């Protein structure tokens, strides 16, 4: 996918959304319902359109050896790419998103919990360079 507005290329895992017609979805398993769910899909697409790093900067294109505004995944503290093989047709790689949690706004009562509803997922790493220093750690992504 492309990170707007600077057209920074991302490859690897994606998060896709599907917006269903709730009434049709509720009736889908009843007798006489359509045999296909196609008609109940209102919209779908990439859930991510902007990616920010840990410094709250919109990520930029990958530069060699150090990126000024890196995606803080697969890089060290200096912004250097540390995985064994960098993607050849994209700036950044988002690896396997292995688990997720939906944190609902004020899920424990008024004013208790997060301020916004957030989808939280973490990323698994593949192989990084054995001599890499300053590793940030296991990347976590939050969608708002």
Instruction: Return the pLDDT at 109.
Output: 95
CA–CA dist 63, 28 (Å, integer)? 50
23 backbone dihedrals φ, ψ, rounded to 5°: -65, -45
CA–CA dist 6, 25 (Å, integer)? 37
Please say whether the beta carbons of 138 and 125 come within 8 A.
yes
What's the pLDDT tens digit per position in 117-143? 998 888 876 778 888 888 877 778 887
Q: Give pLDDT tens digits along the chain (144 positions).
A: 676 667 888 888 888 889 999 998 888 888 887 778 888 999 999 888 888 888 889 989 888 878 888 888 888 888 888 888 888 888 888 888 877 888 999 999 999 999 999 988 888 767 788 888 888 777 788 877
CA–CA dist 144, 6 (Å, integer)? 20
């Amino acid at each position: 996918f492309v990170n707007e507005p600077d057209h920074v290329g991302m490859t690897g895992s994606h998060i896709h959304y599907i917006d269903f017609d709730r009434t049709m979805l509720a009736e889908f398993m009843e007798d006489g319902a359509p045999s296909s769910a196609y008609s109940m899909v209102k919209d779908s697409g990439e859930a991510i359109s902007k990616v920010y790093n840990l410094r709250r900067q919109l990520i930029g294109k990958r530069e060699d050896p150090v990126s000024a505004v890196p995606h803080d995944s697969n890089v060290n503290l200096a912004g250097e790419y540390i995985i064994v093989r960098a993607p050849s047709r994209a700036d950044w790689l988002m690896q396997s998103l292995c688990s997720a949690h939906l944190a609902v706004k004020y899920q424990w009562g008024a004013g208790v919990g997060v301020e916004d509803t957030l989808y939280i997922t973490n990323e698994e790493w593949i192989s990084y360079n054995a001599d890499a220093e300053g590793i940030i750690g296991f990347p976590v992504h939050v969608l708002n």
